[in-house]
Amino acid sequence: MRSKKFILLVILFLLLLLQIPFAYRRFKLRRLSSAIQQLNLQRTPAPPNGFKEYKGVVHVHSFLGGHSAGTFSEIISAAQANQLQFVIMTEHTEKEFDTAAMTLKGTHGGVLFINGNEVSAENGDRLLALPGAVSIVAYPQEFRDWDTARANGVGGVEVYNVFTNAKQANPLVAFFDVLWSQRAYPDLIFALYFKRPDENLKKWDQALTRTRLTATGGNDSHANIGVSLNDSSGKKLLGIQLDPYAVSFRLVRLHVLIEENKPLDETSLVEAIRAGHCFIGFDFLGDSSGFEFGSSEAIQGDEIKLDRPLTIRTPVPSRVVLYKDGSVILDESGVTSREFSVAEPGVYRAEVYLPQLGNRLWIISNPIYVR
């Protein structure tokens, strides 16, 4: 009997010992949360530039098309809670009915909804099909038909996807992180696994040498990960939801720039995305609103003539990395505003990092095309 108790005590001791790393990870998240709060207090407003900035999310699924039990009410409430101006729905397709026609469209609860589909080509390539004949490459790490993408109406690339990033996490480690930190830091848990999408950015840079493609970030929101106990009618009695819309909508956002004299509607939003007048912000690390990259006569997505200076402006002091045709030509920290001359034609884009938060990636710009 004593030996059994001893063995039990040893097992309990080992289990407690194994929890030390996760307790420390929770402590790191508390420090990260405090650092983000301080960073947001340092933000400086962007000067007027003739454009109004709208933030929203792309690649969202509901109960339509399977894969999710999420309701329209949950999606609308989550968008309102995150103070989003738009949500782009990308429902999975069904043979018997048009899920894009049936999903959220128009303004609901003060939020603009765009109705689209996630579609699969015969070769397995997947696209996000938006109104106005605009298609965005989904999961570019798996995409094959780059050579004819633009000719087939593809105008964008989802260079970052939350689901793809999350799949890289060790399930056992993630389980204990959730036990320790999900209640206090439901969105910041993601910071423990967040990675720069190296492969996707490389594929995008290569494609940009041949054609113009807008970069977008995909929330890939399903609200379908969790455990619950339901009664016979389907009502939840007990459970935990790991990816509610309210959390996934905080992780990555698309910030779209629309001329001040134009209203925010389906036409103006889709046109701005097609033109590349937008940037990706990982807003769970802090609000990226106010970022600027361009010149006195152009913004992201535009084309300018050679010998016109470019300017980068960030809401807080940041590390800025500037790329030309996929190669780094500038890497500078402490930047809030930086002007640099352009002596060669090419495709220029920027990435912004936060040294204050462990040098995490914060913003991915869309390109300026210098001809």
Q: Residue ranges of the domains in the chain?
A: 10-370
Environment class of residue 102 by beta-carbon count within 10 Å: exposed (0-12), middle (13-18) or buried (19+)?
A: middle
Q: Among candidates 193, 196, 190, 203, which has minimal Cα distance to 139?
A: 203
Instruction: Give me the amino acid identity at 103.
Output: T
Residue 193 CA: distances (Å) to CA of 4, 48, 169, 260, 273: 39, 36, 6, 38, 28
User: Which segments of the chain have a pLDDT < 50?
Assistant: 227-231, 237-239
pTM for the full model?
A: 0.92
pLDDT digits (tens, 9 = 90+) for 184-229: 999 999 999 999 999 999 999 999 998 999 999 999 998 866 544 4
The contacts of residue 311 (CB under 8 Å, 6+ apart) are 292, 293, 294, 295, 337, 338, 339, 340
First-to-last CA distance in the chain? 82
Q: Among candidates 87, 321, 315, 285, which has minimal Cα distance to 194?
A: 285
| Coil vs helix vs strand at 314 | strand
pLDDT attached to residue 229? 43
| Coil vs helix vs strand at 365 | strand
The contacts of residue 227 (CB under 8 Å, 6+ apart) are 239, 240
The contacts of residue 59 (CB under 8 Å, 6+ apart) are 88, 90, 118, 128, 138, 158, 161, 216, 218, 219, 220, 221
pLDDT attached to residue 1? 61
Residue 33 CA: distances (Å) to CA of 66, 69, 130, 255: 35, 31, 35, 23
Q: CA-to-CA distance for 159 and 181, rounded, in angstroms? A: 28
pLDDT attached to residue 227? 43
pLDDT attached to residue 239? 45
The contacts of residue 76 (CB under 8 Å, 6+ apart) are 104, 108, 109, 111
Residue 248 token pair: 């996934």
pLDDT attached to residue 237? 45
Q: CA-to-CA distance for 242 and 244, rounded, in angstroms? A: 6
pLDDT digits (tens, 9 = 90+) for 262-277: 999 999 999 999 999 9
